[in-house]
Amino acid sequence: MFRKLSLAVLLPLCMLTLYLVLVIGEYLFESEQVLVELAQRQSALIKQQLFRMQNVVQSAQSSQDVERIEQEVALTGLDTNTMVYILVDAESRIRFANHTVWRDSNAIQVIDGFDAARHQVVTQAFLPQILVNFQRLTIQAYYPVIPQYGGAIDLIYLESDLAPLAIEASSKLQQRFIRIWGIGGLLLIGFTLMLYFLVIRPLHILSQAAKNVGTSAFSVLIPWGSSEVLSLKSSLQQAHQRLERTVQQLNDSELRWLFAVESSRNGIWDWNISTGEVFLSDRWKEMIGYAPDELAEVFLTWETRLHPDDKHSVLDALQEYVSGKSKEFESVHRLLHRDGHYVWVLDRGMLVDWDPQGRPTRMIGIHIDVSESAKNHAAITALVDQSVAGRKMLPDVFMARLSQFLIEGNSAGQWGALFLVEIDSLGLVTTLSSHELERLMTQVVARLSSYFTENVIVTLLESGHFVLLAKDLAIDAAIAARRSLAIASELRQVIARPFHYGCHYFELNSNIGICLLDSIEMLDPALVMYRAELAVLNAKKTDQAGCAFYHSEMDLHQSRDEQLLRELQEALKKESLTLMFQPVMNVNSELISAEVLTRWYRADGEYIAPAEFIALAEQGAIITQLDLWATKRVCQFIQQSEQQGRSLPTLTLNISTFSFGQADFVDAFVTLVKEYEVTNEQLGIELNETALLMQPQFVEQRIRKLVDAGVSIVLDHFGSGSSALNCLVNQPLAAVKLDISCVESLISMPQRVNALIVSARQFNLRVIAKGVESPEQYQAFAELGCDSYQGYLFSRALNQTDFIQLVNSSLQRRSV
């Protein structure tokens, strides 16, 4: 209702209401204050009167002058406001009163307000009490008197009526407020008129003129217009001019958008979800063989043309996106062509409008014809062959294109680049079936094909491996290298965008190797691919950010890596690797557990660092074999110690994320634990957070098997990643080991270390500090709340013999 009122009515009404509220509130407040002040004045007068009467009574009782008391009481009774004035003895019997009829009566029986209990309190304490009753508008006074003999007066009781005085004071207050209201009302009317002429009327004129903004009628003169009103008028004019420019830009953008759409040859659709109507662009209809006016623009036009094998998954993906369960809608599926065959399309869409209740009402998207990519994929699958080494060879189609480019590129003088993309598919194999994984890779190909121009050829080699050939990058080598790096960065970003397949939701990571193709050097296609593979291996290093160029030094390094990998395989067969034990101590320097470490010394005595040979084992796909070998040796050691009557602390094994992700690794691990009868708390495994942050269903199944087998789980490198708190919440961990970087953070950022320890302690987890090498570091970790320590301050990594001695000495100290 108030929205329809004019300011000319609404503003005075609000001011009048506010004025009345303030005046009435002030009147009620002052009424209360006047009554309180009146009561205080009357109480003071009564107190003076009773004090005088006390002296008169005491003097008269001493001289047995009863008539003097009679006279004083009679004088007091002349006051019309005094309702009760009595003098009573200790038995509350009235000895004197302003009304003779009350004499010799009991005050409790004849005086309503008289309180015998208060009488006793006042006379015993000899402290007068004056009480004000604002509800009855009376004052009661109890004034003690010292009795001179038995049965003498010991209390003066007075009850005074405040009502006449209150009425008189209220009348004066009302007269004063009537004068104030009258003067204030006149001032309010004057202020309202001034406000109308200075503010409301100029705004009204401006609002009427605003209907004609942009025309000559808007330049109407506004009388008495303030600077703010004139500024508002100027702002409206400027806003209108900006709006006209924006509309023009919008029209221009629409024309450019139409041109871009037509140039890209992508089909556009716009779906009104509430009505089911769908706008289908001419290109959309052309993709499936129809003229612009041949298809009804409704949702069923698209739905009924979905391939039966694709329909269920596509509609589920669309429903999950519309309902908010997934972040985006992207699907590769087939649509029925007018001629009867099916066309592969990449379908992307996004919600653009919602109703007031938050329900989606509009969705727009594009269709990209990726039939050629799908055909290439089918051809590649048919052309793949197995080599002697067991690796899938390149498709003849792509090799032919690469060979053709290497010849043509040399003659044209243009640099090119070959990109080998390896997607980290850890966890995908166990989550998806082979058919589902193939369909997911098809989506990746479709996305890449739709993103890059015809200058880039995209091909799927095998599951998780793609190759892209970028032609005609530049004549200059440095420029070609920069453009290649930009393409590689775009590739990683495009692949990293989430994929939705069925009930699964994937975020993929990739590593890219780049081999620049010289315009002069004539290379064999197989050699180009080999160099790209070397670059991919280098891209996996932490300092490469997922992208790496091939350079000649990689050939030498690869030769050494291949030699070391062969020797490592031989060392595993001969079991010539060594186990070391790194003790973990508590605050009392007692041995509570030990981390089992694998060490490798070559036949010539050269020591190979664990980081180097473990990386080789992962690249050569023998890391699982290495982890299971270490597990078997540790289980044998535990069993032998049990048979010799020696009780070992918990031994923990570092398990590679790659091994943990293999389908049969955990089953093989548990089989070894049961075979050697390893009991609870004798064996544990240390996992990085990357292993625990894979697909939840995949991780939970494996963790449950390990816990059921009595294997404890330790989160290693706690604080090195960004999602470790999820591991603390969701996994049954026994302890966490702080990342080695926390040692340096003790000085540079102690609050970071404290936050990590506090977060782990919140879940009742044991916190182990690694790399403790000095008493100062130990003291700092202890003050922050760590309860276990590992490092050279306590012990170096020990061989099996030295570790047994440490265990025996620890047992002897405990027994003592």
pLDDT digit string (tens) for 139-168? Answer: 999 999 988 777 788 999 999 888 888 888
Per-residue pLDDT, 372: 54
143 and 18 in a single domain? The answer is yes
pLDDT digit string (tens) for 124-141? Answer: 888 999 998 888 888 999
Q: Are strands 499-501 and 504-506 parallel, antiparallel or unpaired?
A: antiparallel
Domain CATH number, residue 569: 3.20.20.450
Q: Grade residue 71 by pLDDT with cuts at 50, 70 and 90.
A: confident
* Dist CA 330 CA 346 (whole Å): 7
3-class SS of residue 747: helix
The answer on pLDDT for 386 being more than 60 is: no
To the nearest whole percent, how much of the chain has pLDDT over 90? 11
Q: Grade residue 54 by pLDDT with cuts at 50, 70 and 90.
A: confident
Q: And the tokens for 376?
A: 């290439």
Position 253 in a domain:
no
* Dist CA 349 CA 329 (whole Å): 6
Q: And the tokens for 335?
A: 């649509």
Total domain count for the chain? 4
* Dist CA 502 CA 496 (whole Å): 18
The answer on pLDDT for 376 being more than 70 is: no
Q: Which of 59-73, 149-163, 402-416, 621-635 has the lowest mean pLDDT?
A: 402-416
Position 598 in a domain:
yes
Position 234 in a domain:
no
Alpha-helical segments (H) within 1-147: 7-63, 66-77, 107-110, 116-125
670: number of Cβ within 10 Å: 17
48 and 121 in a single domain? The answer is yes
* Dist CA 254 CA 40 (whole Å): 83
State which residues form the domain around 75.
9-169
799 and 734 in a single domain? The answer is yes
605 and 626 in a single domain? The answer is yes
Number of helices and strands in the chain (H, E): 28, 26
Eight-class DSSP state of 751: H
Per-residue pLDDT, 246: 81
704 and 801 in a single domain? The answer is yes
Eight-class DSSP state of 331: E
Position 662 in a domain:
yes
Q: Are strands 578-586 and 591-601 parallel, antiparallel or unpaired?
A: antiparallel
Q: Grade residue 650 by pLDDT with cuts at 50, 70 and 90.
A: very high
Q: And the tokens for 556?
A: 């030498």
Position 189 in a domain:
no
Residue 270 pairs in a beta bridge with 279, 364
Q: Grade residue 651 by pLDDT with cuts at 50, 70 and 90.
A: very high
Cβ(409)–Cβ(416) below 8 Å: yes
506 and 569 in a single domain? The answer is no
pLDDT digit string (tens) for 223-266? Answer: 666 677 777 777 777 787 788 888 887 777 666 666 656 555 67
Cβ(346)–Cβ(370) below 8 Å: yes
547 and 595 in a single domain? The answer is no
Give the residue-averaged pLDDT of 329-335: 80
Q: Determine the angle formed by the axes of helices 434-451 and 477-496, rounding to 10 degrees.
A: 130
Domain CATH number, residue 522: 3.30.70.270
Which of 107, 137, 169 is at the close of a domain? 169
287 and 395 in a single domain? The answer is no
CA atoms within 13 A on the CB side of 459: 24
Which of 120, 139, 169 is at the close of a domain? 169
* Dist CA 562 CA 616 (whole Å): 9
756 and 806 in a single domain? The answer is yes
pLDDT digit string (tens) for 23-37? Answer: 888 888 888 888 888
Q: And the tokens for 47?
A: 């107190």
Give the residue-averaged pLDDT of 575-595: 90
Give the residue-averaged pLDDT of 286-304: 88
* Dist CA 795 CA 683 (whole Å): 21
Handedness of CA 481, 486, 488, 489 (dihedral sign): positive
Position 48 in a domain:
yes
Q: pTM for the whole thing?
A: 0.43
Which of 119, 143, 169 is at the close of a domain? 169
The answer on pLDDT for 816 being more than 50 is: no
- The values of phi and psi at residue 664, to 5°, are -110, 5
The answer on pLDDT for 768 being more than 90 is: yes
Position 245 in a domain:
no
Cβ(233)–Cβ(208) below 8 Å: no
Per-residue pLDDT, 77: 72
Q: Grade residue 519 by pLDDT with cuts at 50, 70 and 90.
A: low
